[in-house]
Amino acid sequence: VVIRAQSGELLYRISPWARYVVRDEDKVNYDWVHWNPPQSYIHKHPSPKRLKSLRIYESHVGIASPEGKVASYKNFTYNVLPRIKDLGYNCVQLMAIMEHAYYASFGYQVTSFFAASSRYGTPDDLKEMIDVAHSMGITVLLDVVHSHASKNSEDGLNKFDGTDSCFFHSGHKGNHQLWDSRLFDYANWEVLRFLLSNLRMWIEDYRFDGFRFDGVTSMLYHHHGIGTGFSGDYNEYFGLHVDEDALCYLMMANHMIKFLHPECITIAEDVSGMPALCRPVAEGGGGFDYRLAMAIPDKWIQIIKELKDEDWNMGNIVHTLTNRRYEEKYIAYAESHDQALVGDKTLAFRLMDAEMYTNMSVLSPLTPVIDRGIQLHKMIRLITHALGGESYLNFMGNEFGHPEWLDFPRKGNNESYHYARRQFNLTEDHLLRYRFLNAFDRDMNKLEEQFGWLASPPGFVSEKHESNKVIAFERAGLIFIFNFHPYQSYVDYRVVWHSSLTVLSKYKILLDSDAAEYGGHERLDHNTEYFSEEYPHNYRPNSLMV
């Protein structure tokens, strides 16, 4: 597109609505390509019915292969989707799909909002990938970035008409000081049309089943959450510092999506805890279905980093996992892509660090560091899954404790792809301990699929014992018992049975992190039957011994 600016200068731009943009090897900028195949892809499978609860596999197409290269939509379709299905996840959340000129931005510096990234393949390859996911009963969500845009002007939206406004606020208000990106003017009629059309296009052309809105905290406040803490005081959420234009855009986007496509799901990435963000627009809420429980991963990092095992506070863990706004749905996660990135550490790497390079083979002795790391990795995931929310999320590779960190090719690492990949092959090697973590993650998801605790009311916590380091709770008719003590085991341990059933019941072990197939020590006999009895304990009439 050639635009004559007010100054008379001719500007060469890519259409903001371009559906396909590519970059030649020898060029710096992307070029707009007219994508019009003789036979465009026809979807064969209907979208899955709306799920009661989500088990989300957060994914990035480009790193979804053990090879040091940009992986393709085709690779994801035929090699990764079957793996996600086998692991028991019913939803995949795709990052870095909207075209971004800088690969190392992880997809968060978007240049072409209507274009699916060409570095992984063609638009039809993406349509096929989503269609195949639907055939497996997997819901597909797009990580949508409407909170800011790349500063690129030749192949982005910035300075589209030669001014610093157009799509954005002009001057200081239109720049995000931490992200070095442009901020949309949500009061502008054409900007609203652009963004709302963008959402419709991803749903109606590509058949995405919903969105995870990125950077919602930055949108909600004029301070963008920079240098601001949130304690939960209502003055932090209501006042002149709230960007009402952005809040109204989010409400309008959710209203439009639900009006046109009631089966679609929307998720807010908000760290502030804005009240009613996940209540219907008709109630004056934000209209989202779910919000990310962002305090949970921070809590696990803080505990592992700062506390000795004997100093872990059970009450504090339970509080963080259960501290949610009433009647708003949360997506719990122990870690996401944020923790995997270079400069941070995954839970597995925090727990086992350098020993992951030398002692993850079953042929090497099970050292105390590896033993502790493997057991806590499983327990942290299960308690987060079972107590932390109404849905669960995991970033690809973290389910089996993927070693090292994630780093995209850039000048600082000599454009290396060594860390921009996921070594799924590690779980297939029977001599490595990664398969134990992989198996536990799969069985944990399959158990939830069977009993549906995520769609059940919040768990009833019957015990958080500080000296015993035991947490016990009930949810969906299951009793969960966690022993976080670093060296103490218990026999004849009495736990409350608070079921709505009036008859006394018989219990059996369904999932045991100490089982041999999960790299445990087999200290429990799975043939044992446990009977509840009319024996008062912890102010409840019935209990059982385990």
Please indicate, yes or no, if residue 327 is contained in any of the structural domains: no
Element (H, E) at 533: strand 530-533
214 is catalytic: yes
Q: Would you say residue 270 lies in a domain?
A: yes
Specify the 3-state DSSP secondary structure of 60: strand
Among 274, 292, 310, the domain boundary falls at: 292
Is 396 contained in some domain?
Answer: no
Where a domain ends, among 292, 321, 348?
292
DSSP 399-422: GGT--S-B----GGGTT--TTSS-
| Angle made by CA atoms 246, 295, 435, in degrees to the nearest 5 | 120
Expressed as residue numbers, the domain containing 18 is 1-292
DSSP codes of every residue in 431-476: TBTHHHHHHHHHHHHHHHHHH-STTSPPPEEEEEETTTTEEEEEET
User: Which listed residue (209, 243, 269, 328) is catalytic?
Assistant: 269
Find where tokens 């016990």 sit. Answer: 472
The reply to whether 323 falls in a domain is no
Strands 181-182 and 543-545: unpaired
Q: What CATH number is attached to the domain comprising 515?
A: 2.60.40.1180
Is position 63 within any domain? yes
For 94-120, letters b (16+ CB in 10 Å) and e give bbbbbbbbebbbbbbbbbbbbbbbbeb
For residue 207, the model assigns a pLDDT of 98
Q: How many residues does the chain have?
A: 546
In-domain check, residue 207: yes
- From first to last of the 546 residues of the chain, give the pLDDT tens digit: 999 998 999 999 999 999 999 999 888 899 999 999 999 999 999 999 999 999 999 999 999 999 999 999 999 999 999 999 999 999 999 999 999 999 999 999 999 999 999 999 999 999 999 999 999 999 999 999 999 999 999 999 999 999 999 999 999 999 999 999 999 999 999 999 999 999 999 999 999 999 999 999 999 999 999 999 998 899 999 999 999 999 999 999 999 999 999 999 999 999 999 999 999 999 999 999 999 999 999 999 999 999 999 999 999 999 999 999 999 999 999 999 998 887 789 999 999 999 999 999 999 999 999 999 999 999 999 999 999 999 999 999 999 999 988 999 998 899 999 999 999 999 999 999 999 999 999 999 999 999 999 999 999 999 999 999 999 999 999 999 999 999 999 999 999 887 655 677 899 999 999 999 999 999 999 999 999 888 988 888 889 999
474 flagged as catalytic:
no
Nearest by Cα to 334 from 382, 400, 289, 402? 382
Does a structural domain hold residue 246? Answer: yes
* Catalytic residue (one of 143, 155, 214, 270): 214
Instruction: Choose the final residue of a domain: 292, 324, 349.
Output: 292
Cα–Cα distances (Å) from 85 to 89, 91, 277, 368, 534, in that order, read 6, 9, 31, 33, 42
- Domain count for the chain, please give it: 2
Closest by alpha carbon to 282, among 265, 263, 258? 258
Q: Is the CB of residue 466 less than 8 Å from the CB of residue 432?
A: no
pTM: 0.96
Question: What radius of gyration, in Å, describes the C-alpha atoms of the chain?
Answer: 25
Residue 312 falls within a domain, yes or no? no
> CB under 8 Å to 416, separation ≥6 — which residues?
68, 407, 409
- CA dist., res. 51 & res. 124, Å (int): 26
CATH classification of the domain holding 79:
3.20.20.80
